[in-house]
């Protein structure tokens, strides 16, 4: 067969998880930008089938590779076995498949997991470009596997005793501990074919002409990137690659009417729950999560495969149907981009992290395996996520340390009284599983103005006429100068003893409105101020947006 002299870029995708769906946007966009270049995309028929909704383009063709499964193989749901069968068959099958294309290959682009593509490229005398589908931080663990094993060891008892050891001997890694590492570095079945292949990947990547990262350079540690650039050739952060997907894909599939349901919800009041397509929490955690959602009163959209519904508490779906929607699949990027979604409970998969960053939705992460732990800790360090305490979902409200950490991340630059106000509010909200409030400096500015107006007389007055509140507002007065923000919030929150949720009423001759404003589910931002008045007493005021305490509505 005579080969065309037309330039030809061959893409090789890892056919498990979201790897192929991460590589295809790059191949597709390059094919659009370079119509005179031929592009081929190699992966298994099953993986190619999952990508069939993409619009066709004449210079991008798809080729099937064998999955390597023995004839008559019966899947037991063990994806590790399927991965190993594929890895055994793929090198030879890829070489043979390349012989079936019409154009001579000019460049090979492969998922980094498939390091043998570098040998194929070398045999053909063409460049090898490797795509790492996750963060630079996560690749650093694999590039430094030999160093980590030398410093930590691999004996189970030694590793177990070192789980909380900080990995500060790697540049930029002082935020990570041994327990954050992916399996295959120092723990897990290190002799398995897959983990041996990951180890080999870290050793082979320095041979690549370039490494393409599905990440955003500005969020990565400069130390990590500088370190990788000393170990590897060209490092090219080009993510998020999902943004390269054609617009047409974003509008074509919402079979369970998730977006229509979100249209009926108030701004930033919905928690989106989605743990990816590969794993789900164990039944006990699914049950605990459901109980927590029910007890909290939070509105939620939950992407949960039908086979896992049996783990939900009896009657849960009926009891929460007025404020929750549980579906077997949801268009996650579009859901996160909807104005009704205010929080994201995730496994911490890297594509989910990037979607959270892109849409500006804070996360709570319950990592499972692989790079999830590094991604979750990385996101926590950025201040955009919290990691589930102990790595296990429970019905219990977040602990004090977690609430404080989240409050700090939602109050950039806050010191002293500001963080005290915010932390105290979010502790009360956490007891009801309400989403935490964020600090708003415009609301703080307004509160400071009103506190300044009251400094001369310390009168316990609101800044708005009684029937014309533009913002939610709580005010506090205390005799003497020793009252703190925590004291004010405690006084307001103690009104709970006078409030009856079932009837949404307050005990006669008592006040409950300060408490209900604190826990009002649709409130998202707050700002407060404290002043010692001229007479030596203390006045404090907090403002809230959106406001609460609407007549006839329950707070949560």
Active site residues: 19, 111
Tell me the helices (H) and strands (E) count for the chain, helix number first. 21, 19
Residue owning tokens 């619009």: 55
Integer Cα distance of 168 and 177 in angstroms:
9
CB contact burial 380-397 (16+ within 10 A = b; e otherwise): beeebbbbbeeeebebeb
**In this structure, what token pair is assigned to residue 481?**
């100068």
The edge-to-edge listing of strands for the beta sheet with 438-439 is 438-439, 525-532, 538-545, 472-478
Residue pair 426/437 in contact by the 8 Å Cβ criterion: yes
Strand 363-365 relative to strand 341-346: parallel, antiparallel, unpaired?
parallel
Residue pair 392/205 in contact by the 8 Å Cβ criterion: no
Cα-based distances in Å from 532 to 416, 451, 484, 537: 15, 9, 11, 6
DSSP class of residue 390 equals G
| 16 Cβ contact partners less than 8 Å away, ≥ 6 residues apart | 47, 79, 82, 83, 86, 278
DSSP class of residue 64 equals E
Integer Cα distance of 99 and 272 in angstroms:
46
Integer Cα distance of 500 and 209 in angstroms:
67
**In this structure, what token pair is assigned to residue 288?**
């605990």
For the residues of 302-363, what is the DSSP string, one character each?
A: EE--GGGGGGSPTTHHHHTTTTEEEES---HHHHHTSTTEEEEEE---HHHHHHHHHHT--E
Query: Bridge partners of 532?
Result: 538
Three-class secondary structure of residue 147 per DSSP: helix
Question: Of 555, 546, 467, which is closest to residue 504 (Cα–Cα)?
Answer: 555
**The length of the chain, given as a count of residues:** 556
What is the CA 93 to chain-centroid distance, rounded? 36
91 burial level (CB within 10 Å; 0-12, 13-18, 19+): middle
DSSP class of residue 241 equals G
Three-class secondary structure of residue 367 per DSSP: coil
């Amino acid at each position: 067969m005579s080969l065309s002299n037309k330039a030809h870029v061959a893409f090789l995708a890892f056919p498990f998880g979201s790897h192929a769906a991460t590589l295809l946007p790059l191949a597709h966009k390059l094919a659009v930008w370079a119509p005179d270049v031929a592009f081929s995309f190699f992966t298994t028929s099953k993986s190619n089938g999952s990508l069939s909704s993409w619009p066709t383009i004449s210079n991008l063709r798809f080729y099937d590779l064998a999955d390597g499964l023995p004839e008559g193989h019966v899947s037991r749901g063990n994806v590790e076995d399927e991965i190993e069968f594929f890895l055994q068959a793929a090198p030879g099958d890829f070489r043979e498949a390349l012989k079936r294309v019409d154009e001579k290959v000019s460049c090979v682009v492969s998922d980094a997991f498939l390091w043998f593509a570098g040998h194929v490229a070398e045999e053909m005398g063409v460049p090898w470009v490797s795509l790492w589908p996750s963060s630079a931080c996560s690749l650093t663990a694999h590039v430094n596997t030999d160093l980590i094993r030398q410093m930590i060891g691999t004996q189970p008892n030694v590793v177990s005793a070192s789980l909380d050891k900080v990995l500060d001997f790697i540049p930029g890694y002082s935020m990570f501990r041994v327990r954050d590492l992916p399996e295959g570095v120092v723990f897990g079945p290190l002799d398995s074919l897959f983990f041996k292949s990951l180890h080999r990947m870290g050793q082979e990547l320095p041979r690549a002409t370039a490494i393409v990262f599905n990440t955003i350079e500005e969020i990565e540690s400069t130390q990590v990137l500088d370190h990788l650039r000393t170990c590897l050739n060209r490092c090219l952060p080009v993510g998020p690659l999902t943004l390269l997907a054609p617009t047409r894909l974003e509008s074509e599939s919402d079979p369970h009417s998730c977006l229509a349901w979100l249209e009926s919800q108030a701004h930033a009041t919905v928690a989106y729950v989605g743990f990816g397509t590969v794993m789900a929490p164990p039944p006990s955690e699914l049950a605990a999560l459901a109980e927590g959602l029910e007890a909290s009163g939070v509105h939620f959209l939950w992407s949960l495969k039908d086979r896992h519904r049996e783990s939900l508490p009896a009657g849960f779906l009926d009891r929460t149907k007025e404020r929750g929607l549980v579906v077997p699949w949801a268009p996650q990027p579009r859901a996160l981009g909807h104005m009704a979604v205010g929080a994201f409970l995730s496994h911490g998969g890297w594509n989910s992290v990037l979607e959270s960053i892109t849409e500006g939705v804070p996360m709570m992460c319950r990592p499972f395996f692989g790079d999830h732990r590094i991604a979750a800790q990385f996101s926590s360090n950025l201040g955009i996520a919290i990691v589930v305490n102990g790595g296990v979902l429970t019905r219990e409200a977040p602990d004090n340390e977690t609430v404080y950490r989240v409050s700090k991340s939602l109050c950039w630059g806050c010191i002293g009284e500001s963080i005290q106000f915010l932390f105290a509010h979010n502790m009360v909200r956490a007891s009801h599983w309400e989403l935490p409030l964020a600090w708003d400096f415009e609301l703080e500015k307004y509160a400071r103005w009103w506190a300044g107006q009251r400094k001369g007389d310390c009168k316990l007055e609101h800044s708005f006429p009684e029937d014309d509140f533009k913002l939610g507002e709580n005010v506090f007065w205390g005799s003497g100068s020793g009252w703190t923000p925590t004291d004010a919030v405690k006084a307001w929150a103690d009104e709970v003893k006078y409030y009856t949720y079932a009837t949404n009423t307050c005990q006669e001759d008592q006040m409950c409105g300060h408490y209900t404003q604190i826990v009002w589910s649709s409130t998202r931002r707050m700002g407060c101020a404290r002043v010692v008045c001229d007479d030596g007493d203390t006045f404090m005021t907090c403002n809230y947006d959106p406001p609460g305490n609407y007549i006839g509505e329950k707070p949560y």
